[in-house]
Amino acid sequence: MAIEEAIFPAALATLLQNADLEQRSLHDTLVEGGHVPTMGRARLGAEAAGPDDAALLRVPIGSPLLVEKRVIHDQDGRPLELCESRYAGDRYGLDVQFDVELPGRDGG
């Protein structure tokens, strides 16, 4: 479904290397290690599949991919994870919900 590459701070190496990520989630492992994913920011865009992406996703070279690049911060505002996800455009969609903050509703 996707190709995903994640980069974590070196300080988390021991925690992640000792984690049983086949039986437990990455999120649970991070939280139990004192690193609560709290805030993130992502950018979505389209890119054409190169030879490696095409082979792994089983799509023709040049096929449209949905690419998400995101950074997630912990409860102290420190970067926790830098991730890039590459999805076959014809097999993935987004369902997004958001709230709009109205002027004057923050007490100011």
- State if pTM tops 0.85: no
Question: For residue range 14-68, what is the model confidence (pLDDT) as tens digits?
Answer: 999 999 999 999 999 999 999 999 999 999 999 999 999 999 999 999 999 999 9
User: Does residue 42 contact residue 70 with C-beta atoms inside 8 Å?
Assistant: yes
Give the Cα separation of 60 and 50 in Å (integer): 9
Rg of the chain over all Cα atoms, to the nearest angstrom: 17
Q: Structural domains in the chain?
A: 2-88 (3.40.1410.10)
- What is the pLDDT at residue 94? 77
Identify whether the C-beta of residue 10 lies closer than 8 Å to the C-beta of residue 82.
no
pLDDT for 93: 80
Position 106 confidence tier, pLDDT thresholds 50, 70, 90: low
Cα of first residue to Cα of last residue in the chain, in angstroms, is 45
Q: What is the mean pLDDT of residues 71-77?
A: 94
pLDDT of 105: 61
